[in-house]
């Protein structure tokens, strides 16, 4: 159970980060960790913040701390360590990562802005699978299922991590459902489940799978 004090410190961190006050955001996330060291979420947010700031050593140390905590499963920690490794090797442009994060974190109604940011990320890193996952979701929301499918399949061809592959497949399943291709959608959702990527998309994939099987969608 998350303590109220830890939750309050974490929420302050999110508010500071949203306002661009990164120094205070770091302090608030650290406070949440100090209050409740067995809660993984503040570690993940702090690590991602360090990563976006180019403070790679601190990001790596924070993500490794998060990995020591038994989670109800979130492959995003391994995924972030992969992002860090790719940046350190020069395989992922830090600006592309920042554009992707900005797109991911914008409100859902700002679809044009999200789309433009994803395209900026991909212009810098054409093989950035996570950006394809986000762009495909945006294109579907804008009413372009055929373009969304092309984008998501391109992302799947980029050798993504299990976490990102699950997101791509989940979004692809939704695209296929929107296109009335129930059989292909079922196959995509089953692949998400088979990956056992331990992320929230798996649970939603199961819900979608059951609904599609029953013919409700």
pTM score of the predicted model: 0.74
CATH of the domain at 213: 1.25.40.10
Q: Which domain holds residue 174?
A: 93-217
Say whether both 116 and 204 belong to one domain: yes
Say whether both 135 and 30 belong to one domain: no
pLDDT at 131: 96
pLDDT at 22: 94
Q: 83 lies in a domain?
A: no
Encoding tokens for residue 23? 């120094």
pLDDT at 35: 96
Task: Please tell me the total count of domains within the chain.
Answer: 2
Say whether both 66 and 97 belong to one domain: no
pLDDT at 75: 58
pLDDT at 183: 86
16 and 46 Cβ atoms separated by less than 8 Å: no
Mean pLDDT by groups of 10 residues along the chain of 217 residues:
91 90 96 92 87 86 81 62 83 85 84 95 95 97 97 95 89 92 87 69 64 61
Q: 84 lies in a domain?
A: no
Say whether both 52 and 133 belong to one domain: no
pLDDT at 206: 64
Virtual CA dihedral for 131, 89, 14, 46, nearest 10 degrees?
A: 150
């Amino acid at each position: 159970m998350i303590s109220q004090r830890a939750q309050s410190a974490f929420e302050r961190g999110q508010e500071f980060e949203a306002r661009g006050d990164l120094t205070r955001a770091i302090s608030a996330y650290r406070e949440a960790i100090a209050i409740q060291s067995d809660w993984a979420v503040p570690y993940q947010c702090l690590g991602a913040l360090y990563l976006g700031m180019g403070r790679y050593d601190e990001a790596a140390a924070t993500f490794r701390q998060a990995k020591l905590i038994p989670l109800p499963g979130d492959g995003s920690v391994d995924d972030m360590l992969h992002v860090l490794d790719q940046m350190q090797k020069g395989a992922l442009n830090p600006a592309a990562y920042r554009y992707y994060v900005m797109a991911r974190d914008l409100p859902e109604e700002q679809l044009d802005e999200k789309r433009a940011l994803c395209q900026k990320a991909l212009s810098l890193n054409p093989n950035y699978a996570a950006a394809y996952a986000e762009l495909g979701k945006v294109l579907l929301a804008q009413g372009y299922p055929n373009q969304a499918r092309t984008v998501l399949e391109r992302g799947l061809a980029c050798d993504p991590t299990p976490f990102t592959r699950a997101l791509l497949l989940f979004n692809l399943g939704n695209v296929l459902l929107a296109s009335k291709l129930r059989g292909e959608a079922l196959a995509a959702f089953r692949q998400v489940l088979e990956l056992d990527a331990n992320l929230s998309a798996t649970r939603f994939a199961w819900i979608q799978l059951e609904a599609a099987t029953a013919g409700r969608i």
